[in-house]
Amino acid sequence: MIFNPKIECMERDEMRKLQSERLIKTVKTCYEKSKFYRRKMNELGITPDDIKSIDDISKLPFTTKHDLRDEYPFGLQVVPPTEVVRIHASSGTTGKPVVDTYTKNDLDMWAEGVARVMAAGGVGPGDTVQVSYGYGLFTGGLGAHDGAIKLGACQLPTSAGNTEKQIMLMQDFRSNVLACTPSYAMRLAEAIHNSDKVSIENMHLRCGFFGAEPWTEGMRRELEEKLRIKAYDIYGLTEMCGPGVGGECECQNGTHLWEDMFYPEIINPETLEPVAPGEFGELVFTSLCKEAMPILRYRTRDLTRLIYDKCECGRTAVRMDRILGRSDDMMIVRGVNVFPSQIEACLTEFPVFQPYYFITVDRVNNEDTFDIDVELKPEFFHEDPQQQMPHIKPLFDRIVSMVGIKPNIHILPPYGIERSMGKAKHVLDKRNFKD
């Protein structure tokens, strides 16, 4: 189902005209009402008169997470407080949180973005969407909540946690759509299969929308098999609005980005220059409709590419390929670039392993160590380490083949790796704590 055919199927030249109109208006607002952007543009010798179409976007300054934290909390807000109806923020685990503020129109735009994603997965009136993202300052819960309402579906606001009750409500209220992080979806699946009170046979789930953290095709296969659903990626970031910047259609061949609202670019993260169409690089977004806190050329650090071919579903909206990782999540171990998503991709190739892992990087005697904790599925676990070796060797070889360095693999007992209710933490780099 296509929620907004006029926009989602718009011809490329019409889309560029719409983007140009919205960019010109956004730049004018930023220059006139934001001290931050006026200063940044003046430093580059740019005024709004220099922006005549979307083709001029490369003239504009970049915005980074550091900029948002430096301007904390409301330095980028361009409307008076009387027009702000909601505030969201990131967790702020690595410093001050990233703040986003919203007018009523911003919330309507955000809800439409989520509604487009859910509609692409076949959701509509009569469906019950169990929202198991966390509610609160995190954008996931209320973003999915408002999108389901915009779509005309019934939403069940369970939030994250209290897994046993979640499953009971899922069964009793006949939820057929699930929205949460992929790691929490896996935790729910595991709990259902281990329960003697409920059975997957008695569930009514049909599809799920999973985001807020990177996940692989292997994780998708696991979720689809264990929950008997079709698993869709929903993409978003606090800096733009939250979930709903884009999402997959039924073809699952890339994430459609709602480029009438959020203009995407791909740049070389080293030179900051645009890459050729279809090449991989860092994803950059400019908000085209935001009223309260518009953002110009935000560097997401997500590494991917854009696909402009018309999709089999009929949408012309540009598609984003699977995210390879984040440039700021990348670890350099023994001189080799390593992304956590590579480890997950290797792990999910082997049916004997659970899709849980934890990486610890350290430095001992001036040499990097690379340890990976994993879990075998309970039916394959043995207390005797010798019995585990036949499982470790193929995984070891696959990681060496994909990543290029030799890991130390440790098999933990079942449930030895902490389960997450929100964004899963996969890495501890102890080198950061050493002189």
28: CATH: 3.40.50.12780
| H-helix segments, 128-228 | 139-151, 163-172, 182-194, 217-227
Confidence band (pLDDT; 50, 70, 90) for 273?
A: very high
Residues 51 and 187 in one domain: yes
Q: Residue 178 corresponds to which tokens in the numbers above?
A: 């699930």
Residues 352 and 385 in one domain: yes
Sheet of 325-326, strands arranged across: 262-267, 281-287, 298-304, 325-326
Element (H, E) at 287: strand 281-287
Q: How far apart are alpha carbons 109 and 107 in whole angstroms?
A: 5
Residues 122 and 59 in one domain: yes
pLDDT digits (tens, 9 = 90+) for 125-180: 999 999 999 999 999 999 999 999 999 999 999 999 999 999 999 999 999 999 99
Residues 90 and 169 in one domain: yes
Confidence band (pLDDT; 50, 70, 90) for 215?
A: confident
Of 319, 322, 321, 313, the C-alpha closest to 3 is 313
Residues 88 and 169 in one domain: yes
Residues 113 and 224 in one domain: yes
* pLDDT number for residue 366: 77
Residues 342 and 314 in one domain: no
Q: What average pLDDT does this structure show over 1-22?
A: 98
Taking 80 as the threshold, does the pLDDT of residue 432 lie above it?
no
Write out the residue range of the structural domain in which residue 65 sits: 1-324
Residues 9 and 119 in one domain: yes
Share of the chain above pLDDT 70, in %: 97
Share of the chain above pLDDT 90, in %: 77
Residues 147 and 112 in one domain: yes
Exposure string for 5-16, b = 16+ CB within 10 A, e = fewer = eebbbbeeeebb
pLDDT digits (tens, 9 = 90+) for 27-49: 999 999 999 999 999 999 999 99
Q: Which of 210-219, 312-321, 335-344 has the highest mean pLDDT?
A: 312-321
Are the beta carbons of 26 and 288 closer than 8 angstroms? yes
Residues 93 and 231 in one domain: yes
Confidence band (pLDDT; 50, 70, 90) for 434?
A: very low
Are the beta carbons of 236 and 143 closer than 8 angstroms? yes
In single-letter form, the type of residue at position 161 comes to: G
Residues 257 and 369 in one domain: no
Residue ending a domain, choose from 324, 342, 375: 324
Q: Residue 405 corresponds to which tokens in the numbers above?
A: 């360095």
* pLDDT number for residue 179: 98
Q: How far apart are alpha carbons 181 and 213 in whole angstroms?
A: 7
Residues 176 and 259 in one domain: yes
Number of domains in the chain: 2
Residue ending a domain, choose from 305, 324, 343: 324
Q: What average pLDDT does this structure show over 328-340?
A: 80
Element (H, E) at 154: strand 154-156
Residue ending a domain, choose from 292, 324, 356: 324
Q: What average pLDDT does this structure show over 61-89?
A: 96
Q: How far apart are alpha carbons 49 and 63 in whole angstroms?
A: 20
Sheet of 306-307, strands arranged across: 154-156, 128-131, 177-180, 207-210, 230-237, 242-248, 255-257, 319-320, 306-307
